[in-house]
Amino acid sequence: MLSWFRFHRAGRVSALLAALVFSASLTACSHHDEAPWKLADVTGHLPDLDFNLTDDTGKPATGQSFAGKTTLVYFGYTHCPDVCPETMARLMQVLQQLGPDARNTRIAFITVDPARDTAAALHEYVRAFDAEHAIGLTGTDGAIEGLAKRYRVAYQMEKRDPSGAYDVTHSSAVYIFDTHGHARLLATETDPIENITADVRRVIDSTS
């Protein structure tokens, strides 16, 4: 199940990863009378979408803010040099392939670097990708830490360089919640865009 997670400098958080990896039984959750999902099925194995954060306009945001929308949740940060922009670009491709169904879809970009990722910084970042469907979310250190534990997301601040800059090692899975806020699927960077699109559309159709 290690393929469910991608880390920057993975060796430095291997112990943390080992403590957070899901049970292999999660991949066998599809009903016998239904076609198997292309992505990892986590139905019934993760909590519903629930949080109290601040969105990229500075307004309070909760899980209920996304009610009625299929929501793709990603934990990242705006100073991320590679995997975060790559993941966001992939999600933009998913939205494009969804066509009209994209109007019922939202991307929630939750920062793991709240010290630098203010609402204004997140606003500039996510809107550069998609001003209609992407929403940045930030909060206190405690709120982010608690939410990460809730969804078994691993992250760790790396050592600062002489200029004071630093990276944040973090897992890179995309969590897919249905319109009722139930966790349904988990996508990784190894999943083809077509597979993500197909399963997201299937989630949309099943709850529309």
> What is the CATH T-level fold of the domain 2-19+41-207, as seen in this structure?
Glutaredoxin (3.40.30)
Burial 55-81 (b: 16+ CB within 10 A, else e): bbeeeebebebbeebbbbbbbbbbbbe
| Full DSSP string of 42-82 | -TTTS--S--EEEETTS-EEEGGGGTTSEEEEEEE-TT--S
Q: What is the pLDDT of residues 105-126, one digit of tens each?
A: 999 999 999 999 999 999 999 9
Interatomic CA distance for residues 148 and 77, integer angstroms? 13
| Cβ proximity of 39 and 72 under 8 Å | no
| Full DSSP string of 79-146 | T--SHHHHHHHHHHHHHHHHGGGGGGEEEEEEES-TTT--HHHHHHHHHHH-TTTEEEEE--HHHHHH
Tell me the pairing of strands 155-157 and 134-138: unpaired
Listed as ranges, residues in the chain with pLDDT below 50 are 1-32
Interatomic CA distance for residues 69 and 170, integer angstroms? 26
Domain assignments of the chain as residue spans, ordered by start: 2-19+41-207
What pLDDT sits at residue 14? 36
Q: What is the pLDDT of residues 83-108, one digit of tens each?
A: 999 999 999 999 999 999 999 999 99
For residue 67, how many C-alpha atoms fall within 13 Å in the half-sphere facing its CB?
7
